[in-house]
Amino acid sequence: MIFGLQFMENPFMRRALELATLGRGRVSPNPMVGCVIVHDRKGEIDIPFARIIGEGWHQRYGEAHAERNAILSVRSQDAHLLPESTAYVTLEPCSHYGKQPPCADLLIERAVGRVVCCNDDPNPLVAGQGFARLRAAGIQVETGVMNEMGRQLNARFFTFFEKKRPYIILKWAETSDGFIGGEGAQPVKISGELAHRLVHRWRGEEDGIMVGTNTARNDNPRLNTRLWPGKNPVRIVWDRNLTLPADLHVFDGSQPTIVYHQRLKERNGESVVEQKADSTLFPPSYSIAQSLNNTLQDLHLQGIQSVLVEGGASLLQSFLDEGVWDEMRVFRSPRMLGNGIKAPIVQGRLVSRKQVGEDELSIYQPN
């Protein structure tokens, strides 16, 4: 199971968490949310007549939320059971009007008897107001059920609101003798085809993808999802002195691109080109720590909740040196180079390891 044995604590919340994952890569900047409606009369999940009468998840940003989809899935002959039912939802029901009306109001309107939830919503537009509205309407509310699993599910969402920066994923591929690139910064193919395809899936799951100057110049990457169906992330490039040539793939206009450098911040959108002076991102003294911090603050202001950092070695090392990362994904290939650019030193604790084709994928989190 995706979330491990802790799911056994509550089978209906487990199901809601599984449903929520179906929205991965499609709902940002909203969180992934799942909802299961159970007719259980007295809220006792172990009695024989407890059964699921509706379920749903947030499928795409701007479309119906999980609670609405779950309620709409309840058959007409079961609608009268809602006052004797519990809605298991992975995040606090919203209480404000956005692209959709408040889910808390819908639960009240349909007289759902009880709401059980993993996490409070950290978004200031909600932040406890959804629960307060439900309780004021006489609906029993239970919170904190499988809380850690809920936080794992929406780690990007919680990082964005609690740490005021995007969720940072460091990714690289290294040879068995510890090199990330060839001699003279020559690009070399390290990982296999299955690993490449998996990386393209990852790209579609994140808001942004970041590379440094040397990677953009030497590898000339497209930074898109051409090997996997999904949205293209915003491309983010560090180019301190504006030395990158304009004919690189990252400047082809096919997807939004942000370039951070010492004099200007440029953002190329679908039909908008915005330029403004911004000496704080890369101040004249060029402190890596301050520039990195300011870059992440700026990305936060633009609503980018997660960034996949794909290199190169210097940029990856900057994140490691400053301790600003949330996840590390490292492919190790059986290939050997003998010489070249050394891979960063792995940090953190190992959380998983598996084989992806001919490569070994290890995932780490900070200690």
Catalytic residues: 67
Q: How many angstroms separate the CA atoms of 175 and 189, rounded?
A: 10
Phi-psi region of 132 (alpha: psi -120 to 50; beta: other; left: phi over 0): alpha
Largest CA distance in the chain: 71
Radius of gyration of the CA atoms of the chain, in A? 23
Instruction: For residue 99, give the 3-state DSSP assignment.
Output: coil
**Residues recorded for the chain:** 367
**Beta strands at 306-309 and 85-91: parallel, antiparallel or unpaired:** unpaired
Instruction: For residue 219, give the 3-state DSSP assignment.
Output: helix
Helices then strands, each counted (H, E), the chain = 10, 17
Q: How many angstroms separate the CA atoms of 173 and 243, rounded?
A: 26
